[in-house]
């Protein structure tokens, strides 16, 4: 999908990768980067600078450029967002098509009617397999996907989701499981196009979609999910049967998901708060951005200032020499029509 559809689409939409300066080949620094640390402290930078016989600033610049080389390109982020958007929009409408005529979709107490003798319909089976295969694929592609700052939370989320889907299938918690899947896909349908328009530099569209995503996420994850799922599994199920191992295990996994919802909701609320105050959308707090822009500009400014100081000192030095040797040649004042004019 990424090679045949998303990548050609990115070029047509004008998504271009930033040209990053490459780090010069240096076996000693490369070995330290791969085996020890990717972001060395000041003491380690001094030691490496002495070993390589280089200025500390150049060693620091080498590590910065080397870290930037490992960061995903804009086209890779665009392709990943396109693929996930395609899946989430497909799975969400598939879930609605499968569940719209099911009684437990409208009356949540029906999730436990006749439990555990609830027949598994083919449409529910394939819907479950679709979701389970996608989350397993996310686990397999973790080393290659775009790594964000909430990488550990993503691993916990994927693991809890896979355990929840698998165990709910084995324990015949299919009905409550389908509700969980539809609720999660609802907000993800707006998150991925928000990223796509952000990579395309469509700022206003991106901001509008993010506000819609924020509202859907907060309502679905902090209101609908606790009432429809958590309250349902914790209280309604007690009216049908006594608690057993599956009851505690499923509720524990659902609570883990809710804790992750609260964590991401705090990030989203912070970004919305910044947007309301500043009128502009802050960059994704989970994203790992390049270091080169500001740092390279600072170094250029320093060099320009340094060169300017050197040139200024040369000029002042020459002028003082000329003033001492031949004062008539510089700063000579002529009185022309009553005005002082300096040459």
For residue 334, the cross-strand partners are 341
Tell me the DSSP string of 23-68: PPP-HHHHHHHHHT-SS--HHHHHHHHHHHT--HHHHHHHHHHHHH
Q: Which residue has the higher pLDDT, 331 or 38?
A: 38
Q: Which residue has the higher pLDDT, 328 or 297?
A: 297
Q: Among 78, 326, 58, 89, which residue's Cα sits nearest to residue 197? A: 78
pLDDT of 279 reads 67
The Cα-based distances of 291 to 1, 31, 132, 198, 301 in angstroms read 30, 21, 37, 19, 16
Taking 90 as the threshold, does the pLDDT of residue 22 lie above it? Answer: no
> What would the pLDDT profile of 62-106 be if each residue is shown by its tens digit?
888 888 877 778 888 899 999 999 999 999 999 999 999 999 999
Asked whether the beta carbons of 252 and 233 are under 8 A apart, the reply is no
> What would the pLDDT profile of 221-264 be if each residue is shown by its tens digit?
999 999 888 888 888 777 777 777 777 888 888 898 899 899 98
Task: Read off φ and ψ for residue 274, nearest 5 degrees.
Answer: -65, -40
> What would the pLDDT profile of 268-291 be if each residue is shown by its tens digit?
998 888 888 876 655 554 554 555
Q: CA-to-CA distance for 233 and 229, rounded, in angstroms?
A: 6
> What would the pLDDT profile of 125-136 be if each residue is shown by its tens digit?
999 999 999 999
Taking 70 as the threshold, does the pLDDT of residue 304 lie above it? Answer: no
Asked whether the beta carbons of 187 and 213 are under 8 A apart, the reply is yes
Taking 70 as the threshold, does the pLDDT of residue 21 lie above it? Answer: yes
pLDDT of 335 reads 38
- Report cis status (omega within 30 of 0) of the bond before 271: no
Stretch 325-336: mean pLDDT: 41
pLDDT of 306 reads 53
Domains and CATH numbers, the chain: 21-70 (1.10.10.60), 74-278 (no CATH)
pLDDT of 319 reads 46
Asked whether the beta carbons of 10 and 86 are under 8 A apart, the reply is no
Looking at 107-173, list the stretches that DSSP marks H as alpha helix, in order from N- to C-terminal side: 122-140, 151-170
């Amino acid at each position: 999908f990424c090679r045949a559809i998303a990548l050609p689409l990115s070029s047509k939409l004008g998504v271009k990768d930033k040209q990053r300066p490459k780090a010069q080949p240096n076996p000693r620094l490369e070995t330290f980067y791969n085996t020890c640390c990717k972001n060395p402290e000041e003491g380690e930078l001094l030691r490496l600078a002495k070993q390589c016989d280089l200025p500390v600033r150049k060693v620091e610049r080498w590590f910065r450029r080397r870290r930037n080389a490992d960061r995903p390109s804009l086209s890779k982020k665009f392709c990943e967002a396109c693929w996930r958007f395609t899946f989430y929009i497909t799975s969400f409408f598939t879930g609605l098509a499968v569940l719209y005529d099911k009684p437990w979709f409208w009356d949540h107490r029906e999730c436990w009617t006749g439990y555990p003798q609830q027949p598994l319909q083919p449409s529910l089976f394939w819907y479950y397999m679709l979701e389970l295969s996608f989350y397993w694929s996310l686990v397999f592609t973790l080393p290659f996907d775009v790594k964000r700052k909430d990488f550990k939370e993503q691993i916990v989320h994927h693991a809890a989701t896979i355990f929840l889907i698998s165990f709910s299938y084995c324990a015949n918690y299919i009905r409550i499981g389908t509700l969980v899947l539809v609720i999660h896909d609802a907000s993800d349908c707006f998150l991925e196009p928000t990223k796509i328009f952000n990579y395309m530099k469509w700022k206003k569209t991106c901001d509008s979609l993010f506000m819609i995503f924020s509202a859907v996420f907060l309502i679905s994850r902090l209101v609908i999910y606790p009432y429809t799922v958590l309250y349902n599994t914790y209280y309604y199920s007690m009216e049908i049967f006594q608690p057993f191992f599956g009851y505690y295990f499923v509720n524990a996994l659902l609570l883990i998901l809710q804790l992750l919802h609260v964590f991401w909701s705090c990030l989203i609320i912070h970004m919305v708060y910044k947007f309301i105050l500043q009128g502009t959308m802050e960059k994704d707090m989970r994203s790992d951005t390049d270091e080169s822009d500001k740092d390279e500009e600072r170094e250029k400014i320093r060099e320009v200032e340094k060169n300017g100081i050197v040139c200024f000192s040369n000029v002042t030095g020459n002028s003082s020499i000329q003033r001492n040797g031949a004062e008539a040649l510089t700063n000579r004042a002529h009185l022309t029509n009553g005005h002082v004019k300096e040459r």
